[in-house]
Amino acid sequence: MEEKNKEKELILCSLLDAALHAEPHVENQAALKQKWERLKQQETEWESILSIADRHRVLPLLYDVLENILPEDGADWKRVQERSTQTVWQSYRLLFISRYVTGLLKDAGIDTILLKGSGVAGLYPVPELRKSGDVDLLVENGKMAQEAGRCLQMHGFVAESGHQENHHLTYMSPEGIRLELHSALVEPFDSTEVNTFLEKCQKDFFENRVTENVMGVDFFLASPSYQAFYLLLHMLQHFLRSGFGLKLLCDWVVFWEHGCTAEEEAKFLTLVRECGILNFACVVMLFCVRYLGLSENKAQFLEKAGEAGAMKEEAYLEEFFTEIMEAEEFGEADSKRMVAMRGTGWIDYIREFHHQMHLSHPKAGQYKILYPILWVRTFFGFVYRNRKLRGISSIAILKNAKKRSRLVTKMKLFQKNKYEE
């Protein structure tokens, strides 16, 4: 069973390779048809591959690839058409609200940068088929986020409960579209040094922002080196929590295939070195070369800079592949997936617990005298939420965390001295 599932996952990666490089025709299409003919012997196989793609939120990307492969009157093709139509419709809704909101905030004197899927969609062969669920805007700091929030509420936006005050504020538009105002690049990591670096780096994002056309509309985006750095940080944030799947890796592929200058590559390399995430960048790049068809020459500058030997080990890449496929979009399919620590010793559990305390209580956590009370609240909150809300034992979550942490350990995250030449 596992071998059959792996075959389906690899075929999905081949389909995405064709879709991302706009090459579903001629030799690629013939090879894909041969693979598919073997799978069609069992009626459920094609449905299974589409289901995997759906769970990773990449099914619409396959529209052009599958158009001449699937029977046009079959349920499978209708499923692809339906998802693609929904995604195109949502893409234009997000585009219009992004244009409206950035215009409002600009008039209010608030600078923004378009982030995540909306910012990278224009690099896809068919931008409208890149699925996004909301609009993400970066502002310069928490004060600006509060000002932007007041501006939005004056124009009918409603603040959602469950704000992550140390990361972003969430609002709902009158049309029902979610908007996230990011006051920080990512939520705080468990390294004070890295968090301090990222706070300083955020100013550089705005000093180096550029105007780019996305689906016919001009937006401020991060410059290429900073955009690549942000895409990587976004993946890492999810990786250290419940995980991430193929959608974010597709963003990575189209970004690097679009190309960067040698100067931009060097700047990106400086950023990941300073942050101590060079090996994570290496394994992401190697995965995309091997499974999603990213051109090898695009990865050479990064591969040479890191400890690529450990990252290139067959068993390690296979383990990373399994991690990506199991996570699906953002690790929500498996309630045991909650965190991946930077090690498997007791000190790592203690560090992660203390980090979770700070995330749960960002304001109170600034006062050391309150630590004992906050530790108790964090512990009992962890146990209660797992049992009552997630329906799973805390022990099962910790076991899964230990298993995933073995994958993280080789990356030597946030240890920038490990990369210095």
* pLDDT tens-digit readout, 163-205: 556 688 899 999 899 999 999 999 888 888 999 999 999 999 9
> Which residue, of 84, 100, 131, is where some domain finishes?
84
Asked if the structure places residue 149 within a domain, the reply is: no
Residue 275's pLDDT is 93
Q: How far apart are CA 30 and CA 355, in angstroms?
A: 51
- Tokens standing for residue 87: 């995604």
CB of 345 closer than 8 Å to CB of 245: no
Asked if the structure places residue 143 within a domain, the reply is: no
CB of 376 closer than 8 Å to CB of 353: no
Residue 274's pLDDT is 92
Surface-to-core class of residue 65, CB atoms within 10 Å of its CB (0-12 exposed, 13-18 middle, 19+ buried): buried
- Tokens standing for residue 160: 């959602």
For the four alpha carbons of 267, 269, 272 and 276, in that order, the dihedral sign comes to: negative
pLDDT tens-place values along the chain, 421 residues long: 566 688 889 989 988 998 998 754 444 556 556 655 655 554 547 888 999 999 999 999 999 988 878 888 888 899 999 999 999 999 999 999 999 999 999 999 999 999 988 889 999 999 999 998 889 999 998 889 999 999 999 999 998 875 556 688 899 999 899 999 999 999 888 888 999 999 999 999 999 999 998 888 899 999 999 999 999 999 999 998 889 999 999 999 999 998 889 999 999 999 999 999 998 999 999 999 999 999 888 888 877 765 555 667 788 889 999 999 998 887 676 666 767 777 777 787 788 777 877 777 777 778 788 888 888 888 777 776 767 666 677 777 777 777 788 888 888 888 765 544 4
Residue 40's pLDDT is 52
Surface-to-core class of residue 295, CB atoms within 10 Å of its CB (0-12 exposed, 13-18 middle, 19+ buried): middle
Residue 390's pLDDT is 64
* 62-113 per-position pLDDT tens digit: 999 888 788 888 888 999 999 999 999 999 999 999 999 999 999 999 999 9
Residue 147's pLDDT is 93
Asked if the structure places residue 363 within a domain, the reply is: yes
The pairing of beta strand 135-138 with beta strand 113-114: antiparallel
> Which residue, of 84, 111, 131, is where some domain finishes?
84
Q: How far apart are CA 174 and CA 156, in angstroms?
A: 6
* 354-382 per-position pLDDT tens digit: 787 777 777 777 878 888 888 888 877 77
- Residue count of the chain: 421
Comparing CA positions, the residue from 354, 343, 279 lying closest to residue 317 is: 279
pTM comes to 0.89
Q: How far apart are CA 142 and CA 225, in angstroms?
A: 24
Asked if the structure places residue 378 within a domain, the reply is: yes
> Which residue, of 38, 63, 84, is where some domain finishes?
84
Residue 34's pLDDT is 63
User: Tokens 């090879």 map to which residue?
Assistant: 31
The 3-state secondary structure of 359-408, one letter per residue = HHCCCHHHCHHHHHHHHHHHHHHHHHHHHHHCCCCHHHHHHHHHHHHHHH
Q: How far apart are CA 362 and CA 165, in angstroms?
A: 8
Q: How far apart are CA 120 and CA 113, in angstroms?
A: 12
- Tokens standing for residue 33: 């048809």
Asked if the structure places residue 362 within a domain, the reply is: yes
Asked if the structure places residue 54 within a domain, the reply is: yes
What are the residues whose beta carbons fall under 8 Å from the beta carbon of 334, sequence distance 6 or more?
Answer: 326, 400
Q: How far apart are CA 267 and CA 273, in angstroms?
A: 10
Asked if the structure places residue 178 within a domain, the reply is: no
Residue 23's pLDDT is 58
Residue 355's pLDDT is 80
| Domain enclosing residue 45, as ranges | 2-84
- Tokens standing for residue 240: 């250290």
- Count of structural domains within the chain: 2
Asked if the structure places residue 404 within a domain, the reply is: yes
DSSP structure class, residue 412: -
